[in-house]
Amino acid sequence: MKVGVVGASGYVGGEIVRLLSAHPYVQLVQATSESRAGKYVASVHPNLRKRTTLRFSKIADLEPCDLLFLALPHGRAVGLIQHMRAIAPRIVDLSADFRLKQKTEYPKWYGYEHPHPSLLEEAVYGLPELHRQQIRDAWLVSGVGCLATSVILGLAPLFKHGLVREHMVIAEGKLGSSAGGSAPSLASHHPERSGVVRSYEPTGHRHTAEICQELAFGKSPAVMLSATACEMVRGILSTCHVFLKHDLDDKAIWRVYREEYGDEPFIRIVKERQGVYRYPEPKIVAGSNFCDIGFERDPHSDRLVVISAIDNLMKGAAGSAVQAMNVMFGFEETTALEFTGLHP
Kindly give the confidence (pLDDT) of every residue in the chain, 344 residues in length, as a single tens digit, with 9 standing for 90 and above: 999 999 999 999 999 999 999 999 999 999 999 999 999 999 999 999 999 999 999 999 999 999 999 999 999 999 999 999 999 999 999 999 999 999 999 999 999 999 999 999 999 999 999 999 999 999 999 999 999 999 999 999 999 999 999 999 999 999 999 998 888 888 888 898 899 999 999 999 999 999 999 999 989 999 999 999 999 999 999 999 999 999 999 999 999 999 999 999 999 999 888 999 999 999 999 999 999 999 999 999 999 999 999 999 999 999 999 999 999 999 999 999 999 999 99
301 shares a domain with 154: yes
185 shares a domain with 55: no
230 shares a domain with 92: no
340 belongs to a structural domain? no
58 to 30, 89, 250: CA distances (angstroms): 9, 20, 54
**Structure confidence at residue 182 (pLDDT):** 87
Specify the long-range contacts of residues 114-117, CB closer than 8 Å, at least 24 apart.
114/78, 115/78, 115/79, 116/78, 116/81
128 belongs to a structural domain? no
301 shares a domain with 205: yes
20 belongs to a structural domain? yes
222 belongs to a structural domain? yes
How far is Cα 127 from Cα 227, in angstroms, rounded to an integer?
Answer: 21
299 shares a domain with 202: yes
132 belongs to a structural domain? no
Distance in Å from the first CA to the final CA of the chain: 37
**Structure confidence at residue 109 (pLDDT):** 96
Given the residues 146, 212, 240, 291, the one annotated as active site: 146
108 shares a domain with 257: no
190 shares a domain with 103: no
211 shares a domain with 67: no
241 belongs to a structural domain? yes
How far is Cα 29 from Cα 318, in angstroms, rounded to an integer?
Answer: 18
183 belongs to a structural domain? yes
CATH number for 9: 3.40.50.720
Question: Cβ distance 72 to 7 under 8 Å?
Answer: yes
**Structure confidence at residue 92 (pLDDT):** 98
12 to 95, 180, 224: CA distances (angstroms): 10, 11, 27
**Structure confidence at residue 212 (pLDDT):** 98
**For this structure, is 146 an active site residue?**
yes
296 to 155, 175, 299: CA distances (angstroms): 13, 22, 9
Positive or negative, the CA dihedral 103, 104, 105, 106 is: positive
SS3 144: coil
How far is Cα 44 from Cα 40, in angstroms, rounded to an integer?
Answer: 7
165 shares a domain with 85: no
228 shares a domain with 79: no
300 belongs to a structural domain? yes
Range of the domain at 197: 146-312
**Number of structural domains found in the chain:** 2
